Chains A and B, each alone.
Chain A
C-alpha cells in the first residue's frame, strides 16, 4: 500500500469484473497519437506480411474483405490509464493471415502509414488474440482511431494495437518500436502493469 494522502477517498469502488491495476473506466474513446493522422483510402491500402527470410504476402483491401471475418468484443486498456469495456470490432484474425506462412521468427514489428511502429512477440499475434480490424461498433473505423485498418491486440496496452497498420515484419530478434524506444515497456501487459521500461 502506498502513502495515504489525507482526505482522499476516491470514487465508490466500481462493481463488476476487476480492471487491470491502475486503470479507470471511461465511456469515451480517447485518441492518442504522436503526430498528424495519415489519410489512407481503402483503394490505396495494402497490407504486407514479410517473413525473416524476405518472403512477402500481400493483401489489397478487397482481398482482406474476402477473408473470413471475425467480430471480437473486447475490453481495451490504454497505458494512459483509461480502460473501455465491451468494444466491438470486425476484422481478420492474424491466425488467418499467418496460416501457411513458413516462419521461425520469434518476434513481429507492426508498421503503420505515417511511420509508427510497435513490436511484440509473434506468439501474441496467434491463437485468436489479434486481428486486423476495419470496423468499430458497426461502422468503418474512423481515421483518428486508426482507419482504414488497425492492429487489434487487446490483451496488451493499446499502443501495441498499431493504428493505420500497413504491414507486419517477422523478425528473429526483438526490435523495439516507437514508444518502446521512448521509455515505454517492451511488452506492455496491463495485468502486470508494464507501463514503462523496467516495470
Chain B
C-alpha cells in the first residue's frame, strides 16, 4: 500500500478576497507532492493548549512548485473557517496533509467532453479542473454551469468570464437562484433540465459529468442528468457541504 500521508507545515503567503465570505489562501508547503484537479487536502489547526481541529478543503488550482491554493467559505458558527478567513495572518503556520481523493478528479490526458455543474462554493474543485486544463493545453471541450444565489456570490466570476473568452473550447454559463442580473433570460430559478440541455452536452457526446455542491443540489442535478440519458457511471458527484 502507499506510504502514509504526512502532515506538512504550510504558511500563508497571501490571500485573495473572492467574496465577502470566501477567501482564497495562497499557501507555501515545502515538500508538497503535487495533486490532480479535484483532489482535496486536510487542514489542521492547533491551539496553544494542544487542542486540534481539522477540516477538508478542495485544492483550487494546480500546484506551482510548493505553492497551493484553497478557497475557504466562512461558515457562520464554524470553528476552522472563521479563523482562516478572519484571523489567519501571513507567515503563520497551519498543517496540511494530502492530496486526498482519487475519484472526483480530472486527468489532463482525458479527451472526452466534460460537463462541470457547480452549486455555490462547489465550484472550487471544478475551477481547479478548468485551470489545469488550460495549463496543460488540453483540447478536451469543457462546459461549466455555475448555480449561485446572486451575482455577488459567484466565486472566480471575473476569471471565468475571461477564460470563457480566452480558453479555447471552454464555455461558462450561470444560473441564479435568488437574484439575477437585470434582463437575465429566465430570471432567478433553480437549475433544471432545460439549463442542463442548453448549456451542457447531449448524452450521445458521452461527456464525463462532475457535479459538486450542497447535497440537495447534487442529488437534483445528478438525477436530472440521468433522466436526460447520461449513464450513471458517467456522473461523478462530490458534496461540498459547509465545513465549519
A binds B: yes
Q: Which residue of B lies closest to A29 (CB)?
A: B215
Determine the chain A residues whose CB is within 8 A of the CB of B3 once the complex forms.
Answer: 198
A38 to B226, CA, bound (A): 10
**CB–CB B46/A4 < 8 A:** yes
Q: How far is the CA of A35 from the CA of B47 in the complex (A)?
A: 37
Interface string of B198-236 (1 = CB under 8 A from A): 000000000000000001001100110110000011011
Instruction: Collect the chain A residues with CB atoms within 8 Å of residue B243's CB.
Output: 80-81
Which residues of the partner chain A approach B87 to less than 8 Å between Cβ atoms?
A: 7-8
Please measure, in the bound complex, the distance between the C-alpha atom of A18 and the C-alpha atom of B12, giving whole angstroms. Answer: 32
**Cβ contact within 8 Å between B232 and A114:** yes
In chain B, residues 32-71, which have Cβ atoms closer than 8 Å to a Cβ of chain A?
Answer: 42, 44-48, 50-56
B164 located at the interface, meaning its Cβ lies under 8 Å from any Cβ of chain A in the complex: no
Given contacts A4-B48, A81-B55, contact A35 B2 (CB under 8 A): no
Closest to B5 in A: A196
Q: Could you tell me how many residues of chain B have their Cβ less than 8 Å away from some Cβ of chain A?
A: 50
Check A15 for interface membership: any CB of B closer than 8 A: no
CB atoms of B83 and A36 under 8 A apart: no
Assess whether A138 is interfacial by the CB under 8 Å rule. Answer: no
Answer whether residue A34 sits at the interface, using C-beta atoms and an 8 A cutoff. Answer: yes
CB within 8 Å of B: which of A1-55? 1-11, 13, 22, 24, 28, 30-38
- The total of Cβ contacts below 8 Å across the A-B interface reads 122
**B15 contacts the other chain (CB 8 A):** no
Q: Which among B56, B88, B100 is the interface contact of A5 at CB below 8 angstroms?
A: B88
Counting CB contacts under 8 A, is B1 at the interface? yes
Q: State whether A35 and B222 are in contact (beta carbons under 8 Å apart), knowing that A7-B87, A186-B1 are contacts in the complex.
A: yes
With A3-B9, A36-B225, A36-B237 already in contact, the answer to whether A8 and B45 are too (CB < 8 A) is yes
Asked if B7 is at the interface (CB within 8 A of a chain A CB), the reply is yes
CA distance A182 to B40 in the complex (A): 13
Cβ–Cβ < 8 Å partners of B4 in chain A: 196-199
Q: Which residues of A contact B239 (CB under 8 A)?
A: 30-33
Known: A10-B47, A196-B100. A5 touches B93 (CB 8 A): yes
Are B225 and A4 in contact (CB-based, < 8 A)? no
Report the separation of the CA atoms of residues A115 and B234 in the bound assembly, to the nearest whole angstrom.
12
Question: Is there an interface contact between A144 and B89, defined as CB atoms closer than 8 Å?
Answer: no
What would 6 A/B residue contacts be, using CB atoms closer than 8 Å?
A: A35-B236, A36-B232, A114-B232, A196-B4, A197-B2, A198-B3
